[in-house]
Amino acid sequence: MRKKMIAAALWCCAAGSHAQNSVELYGVVDAGISYTSNERTGQPGAYAGHSNFSLISGNRSGSRWGIRGSEDLGAGLKALFVLENGFDVAKGTLGQSGRLFGRQAFTGLASERLGSLTLGRQYTSLTDFVSPASPIPVIGGFGAHPGNIDDIDTTTRVDNEAKFASANYSGFQFGGSYGFGAQPGSLKRESAWSAGAAFVRGPLNLAAGYETSDNSKVGPSDPTLNTWDSTEDGTFGSSINEGFATAQSQQIVAAGATYDFGKAKAGVNYSNVQYRPGPFSLFTQEAIFNTVGLFAYWALHPSFHVFTGYSYTRSGQLDAADDHAQYHGVSLGLLYDLSRRTTLYTLAGYQRAIGKTLDSQGDIVDATASVGSKGIGHSAATASQVIVRVGIRQRF
Looking only at the bridges linking them, the beta strands covering 158-166 and 93-94 are: unpaired
User: Contact at 8 Å (CB) between 247 and 276?
Assistant: yes
Is residue 374 packed enough to be buried (19+ CB in 10 Å), middle (13-18) or exposed (0-12)?
Answer: buried
User: Contact at 8 Å (CB) between 84 and 105?
Assistant: yes
Q: Running DSSP on this structure, what letter comes out for residue 230? A: S
How long is the chain?
Answer: 396
From residue 28, how far is each of 65, 377, 394 by CA, in Å?
6, 22, 6
List, as one string, the DSSP characters of 162-191.
EEEEEPPBTTEEEEEEEE---BTTBSSTT-
Select the CATH number that applies to the domain covering 20-395 from these four: 2.40.160.10, 3.40.980.10, 3.40.50.1820, 2.30.42.10.
2.40.160.10
Q: Which amino acid is at 354?
A: I
Whole-angstrom distance, CA of residue 112 vs CA of residue 115: 6
Whole-angstrom distance, CA of residue 303 vs CA of residue 99: 36
Q: Give, for all 396 residues of the chain, the pLDDT tens digit.
A: 444 433 443 344 344 444 478 999 999 999 999 999 999 999 888 899 999 999 999 999 999 999 999 999 999 999 999 999 999 999 999 999 999 999 999 999 999 999 999 999 999 999 999 999 999 999 999 999 999 999 999 889 999 999 999 999 999 999 999 999 988 988 899 999 999 999 999 999 999 999 999 999 988 999 999 999 999 999 899 999 999 999 999 999 999 999 999 999 999 999 999 999 999 999 999 999 999 999 999 999 999 999 999 999 999 877 776 789 999 999 999 999 999 999 999 999 999 999 999 999 999 999 999 999 998 999 999 999 999 999 999 999
Kindly state the greatest CA–CA separation across the chain: 91
Among 212, 211, 240, 243, smallest CA distance to 227 is for 243
